[in-house]
Structures are given as structure tokens and as C-alpha cells.
Amino acid sequence: TVTEEKGTISIHTENIFPIIKKFLYSDHEIFLRELVSNAIDAVQKLKRLSSLGEYGGELGELKVKVSFDEAAKTITVSDNGIGMTADEIKKYINQIAFSGAKEFLEKYKDAGEGNQIIGNFGLGFYSAFMVAERVEIQTLSFREGAQAARWASEGNTEFEITKGERTERGTDIILHVAEDSKEFLDKFRLENILKKYSRFMPIAIEFDGKVINNTAPIWAKSPNDLKDEDYLAFYKELYPFSEDPLFWIHLNVDYPFNLTGVLYFPKLKNDLSLHREKIQLYSRQVFITDEVKDIVPEFLMLLHGVIDSPDIPLNVSRSYLQADSNVKKINTHITKKVADKLSELFKADRKGFEEKFDDIGLFIKYGMVADDKFYEKAKDFVLVKNTDNQYATIEEYRQKVEPVQTDKEGSVVMLYTTDPGKQDTFIQSAKKRGYDVLQLNGILDSHFINTLESKFEKVSLKRVDSDTIDKLINKEETISGILNDEEKKNLKEWFEQTLNDKNLSISVSPLPTDELPVTITLPEFMRRMQDMAKTGGNP
């Protein structure tokens, strides 16, 4: 039988609540996520017990129900899960839930920088007191012969346990909402919070007469059971206003850490900031955050989709997170998966890969610039495009231009344009000499060029209007011009004396038909310095 009992929870700090409230100030809404998660846990525990044969009763329609009563100022989260006996309340609520709160406090009370704490510490049950002045539990355990129990507390260290009123298995958590949290006694507010955190929770959640969640999101299913349409439909569910993604990766790892998810490659726009913060992080289908910085490598943040891992610690500060070994492993794994997927697409369908390259090239280059491991894989499938819109891998391209575009030091010189319109005369004149010109006019290409030069030996890249073009050794042919060497020399000297600037270099074309009979150019390195000064070194 249930003994009527009043007691004191054994926590040494009397007044932990105001401090916790202060710490979590901006995130009060997570109380609902925590209570709904607990309700779902309770239902799933019952399902498991039933499947193990430890519960012989009817399961019925398993669900969680959220309701509110504006007049009575209550919010109630109900479930028909395992329920609790009075002893279990003492153990799980008085001891475990409150000790979680105590632990939180002990960890952070001296930290002094509340805003550094990730806003989703798993305070669990105790978070109810962020919005409620009094919390009541009405519960009936699934165990045979169990008695209904009731618990109530005002969030201080005192509680009371009495006989409960529930006649059906399960639990009601009733929040008597505090005056300063009345905003939560609102249909739209509650529905929004539920849609944010509980949208993909695994048990049906009923609110306002309807089920608000998709209990079986695709990342929780096996890739073998899914068609392209399913992935596309899920993408639309996540980002209703976006264009279809180009392709996707289904992540599914269970060793050495647990991770599932689907990452989509969107059509990237030239403004990369539009694409950040689109990945959502879940832990067992509970939404945690869409601020995945520090959890996902910077360049992968351009992708969209969902990552779900119970192994990412959510209750710690960001600096701790960066050092966490699981987070590092997860980063490495995702990076590898993404590189493998791209490599697979490249090998399986070169033409399709080329067609998509204008959309995914930016992403690949970002990865190569930012991450050495990614670079190692991507160098074999990253493509460059010349002014005739032909694509080649770096190695293919090196071999292609090597016979005509080698300098005196034996380096292969790749010519490129950063502005095909403005530099057209230079492009045309390079082409007449039998040279090829790449289009490297994307927002990350100056960084990409630096990366290629530092990684590829005996390869240098020069803009088509730099002073290199006449220093190349054309191994295959020599071009005879209309001016003889003496005439060319005189013309060059005249320009040099007239301009009188040592930084400039003058060349006289050997071509009879060249539109640029004389070109005045800056050395490549000087132009890059000038460009960098203009942008302050940023891409």
C-alpha cells in the first residue's frame, strides 16, 4: 500500500532551483522536450518488457498525449508506459532526477559563464521547474497489483507522496505553470515547441486532437527499404521551400560509435552563408540542435539533413565538445563517407558527375582547402573546367598541357582566368599559341589554387594575363612571327623606357595575327598580393 509521506530530498544546497533557472534562462522551452522524452522512454520500456515476455498485459494503443488548461494554468504530459510505484518515484525522481540537477549545479555554479553552456543539458525531469511552481505526478505502474501513486513538489527540497488517482497504467506529469511562464499556456506555442523537438520521436504524440510527429523518419530505416522518392520526400519535409537536392548519403554506423542520418547535397548558391546551419542534430530521434558547429566539420556544414547519435555528449560546453573523442571520430567518419560517396559517383557515372560539378565543385574545393584527409581523396575526382567547358581531373589536365605548357624550371604551368569576359583577349591570344585556359572564377578558387600549388609538385598556376605566358617552352612547335628578333627587342625596349616601372613586364607577340601584339603584365605573385590586399586576405 501507498504510505502517505512527506520528506526532504537529500541535497545539500538548499536553493539550487534559482541558479539552474538562471543558467538555462534562454531555453525554458526544453522542459517539454524532456517530459515528452521521458514519456516516450516509459512507453518504449513497456514495449521492450512486453517483447521479452516480462509484461503479459495488453499494450493497447501506445501513445503520449500533451494537453493544457488555460484556466487551471496546467500543462499535462500523459503516457501509457510503464508507470512508477511509490518506491520507484522515490528512487527515480527524488534521487536520480534531483541528483542530476545537483550534479549540474556542482559542475557549473563556479563556471561563471552561463552562456558557454550548451543550452540543452539533460536536466530531464527537473527542467519542469523552469516553468512550473508546482509539479505533480499521477502514476500507476504496469506491475501486477501496483497501487496508483501521487507525488508533488514545488521544486525545493520538499516533496510529498500520497495515494494516486490513476486507474490505467501510465503516468501524468502535471505542471502548475508559474506566473512568469504563462506564455506556455498557448496552443501555438506548445505546438511549435512540439514540432521543433518532437517531430520525429518514435511514439505517436497527440496534441490538440491530432498526432504531430512522424514516428518513422527515413534515417531510422534501412537504406534497402527506401527509394529515391522517399529521400526526396523527406528532404521536402525538412526544407519545404528548397529545390531538390543533387544526391544524398545515408549514414549508418554502429561501431565504434552509434550514428545514423541522411546528408543531402543541396544545389549550392554562390553565397555560402545561405547554406549553413541546415543540419539538424538528433539523439535517438529527439531534436537537440541545428547549431552543429564544432560537431560537424565546417565545410560539411554546407550539407543539409539529419545526424542522429546518442554518443554525442549534449550536456557540456562547446570547448569540451571540440576535444571530445567521439565527436572527433564522428567528424572523421562523416568526412570519409562523404568523400567515398563522391568518389563512387565519379567512378560510376563520369558524365553525370561532370553535369553536377558546377553545383558540387564549390563544396569539394572547400573540403580540399579545409581538410587534408578529404583532400587526399578528392584530388582524384575534383574537376577543372577549361574555357571550352571541357572537364578534366587534375592529373588528366596535367598530362594534357604538359607538352606545351612547361616552364624553364620544368614545372607544368596551368593557365587560368578569373574573369572570362574581361580577360578574353588574353584568353584568345593564349589559345592561339596552343595553350589551354582554365576557368577558376569561383569564390573559393584563389584558395583552391594555393592548395593545388602546395600539394602538386612541379605544377604552378598562372593567370592568363600574367607575365609567364611567353616564358613557356612549347616542346612541340616553334612559331615564326612577322617581326625579326632585332625588331622585337627594339619595340620591347621602347615600351620599357616609356613606362619606366620595373614591376611591369613587356612582351612582344611572335604571332602575326595576335590581337595583343604587345602585352604589359604584372608578375603573378604581385597580382596575387594586390588581390589579397583588396580582400583583406579573405575569400
Q: Does 120 bind Mg ion (CB under 5 A)?
A: no
Q: Which is nearer to ligand ADP, 42 or 66 (CB)?
A: 42
Q: Which is nearer to Mg ion, 194 or 415 (CB)?
A: 194
Q: What are the helix (H) ranges across 110-225?
A: 187-197
Q: Does 84 bind ligand ADP (CB under 6 A)?
A: yes
d(CA 235, CA 304): 9
d(CA 412, CA 337): 33
The single residue among 119, 124, 217, 245 that binds Mg ion, judged by CB under 5 A, is 124
Q: Does 93 bind ligand ADP (CB under 6 A)?
A: yes
Q: Is 34 annotated as a binding residue?
A: yes
Residue 79 in contact with residue 35, Cβ under 8 Å? Answer: no
Those residues with Cβ within 8 angstroms of residue 34's Cβ, 6 or more apart along the chain or in another chain: 122, 123, 124, 125, 127, 128
| The three three-digit cell numbers of residue 152, written as one number | 508533488
Q: Is 38 annotated as a binding residue?
A: yes
Q: Which is nearer to ligand ADP, 47 or 528 (CB)?
A: 47
Q: Does 39 bind ligand ADP (CB under 6 A)?
A: yes
Q: Which is nearer to ligand ADP, 122 or 434 (CB)?
A: 122
Residue 481 in contact with residue 511, Cβ under 8 Å? Answer: yes
Q: Does 371 bind ligand ADP (CB under 6 A)?
A: no
Q: Does 38 bind Mg ion (CB under 5 A)?
A: yes
By CB under 5 A, what part of segment 334-363 binds Mg ion? none
d(CA 195, CA 212): 7
Place of cell 581538410: 371
Q: Is 222 annotated as a binding residue?
A: no
Part of the chain binding Mg ion (CB under 5 A), chosen from 119-127, 191-199, 321-329, 451-459 = 119-127
Part of the chain binding ligand ADP (CB under 6 A), chosen from 88-96, 154-162, 193-201, 210-218 = 88-96
Q: Is 166 annotated as a binding residue?
A: no
d(CA 97, CA 127): 9
Q: Which is nearer to Mg ion, 124 or 261 (CB)?
A: 124
Q: Does 136 bind ligand ADP (CB under 6 A)?
A: no
Burial state string for 140-153 with b = 16 or more CB within 10 A and e = fewer than 16: bbbeeebebbbbbb
d(CA 200, CA 219): 10
Which residues pair with residue 416 across a beta bridge? Answer: 438, 463
Closest distance between ligand ADP and the C-beta of residue 103, in Å?
11
What is residue 167's three-state secondary structure?
coil
Closest distance between ligand ADP and the C-beta of residue 78, in Å?
8
| Distance (Å) of CA 122 to CA 15, 286, 400 | 19, 12, 58
The single residue among 124, 297, 305, 361 that binds ligand ADP, judged by CB under 6 A, is 124
Q: Is 110 annotated as a binding residue?
A: no
With CA atoms as reference, report the closest residue to 74 among 1, 139, 132: 132
The single residue among 79, 136, 308, 371 that binds ligand ADP, judged by CB under 6 A, is 79
d(CA 20, CA 125): 13
Closest distance between ligand ADP and the C-beta of residue 314, in Å?
11
| The three three-digit cell numbers of residue 461, written as one number | 598556376
Q: Does 38 bind ligand ADP (CB under 6 A)?
A: yes
Q: ∠74-170-191 over CA atoms, to 5°? A: 40
Please give the annotated binding residues, written as ranges: 34, 38, 79, 84, 99-100, 171, 318
Please give the annotated binding residues for ATP, written as ranges: 34, 38, 79, 84, 99-100, 171, 318
Residues that bind ligand ADP (CB under 6 A): 34, 38-39, 41-42, 79, 81-82, 84, 92-93, 96-97, 100, 122, 124-126, 171
Residues that bind Mg ion (CB under 5 A): 38, 124
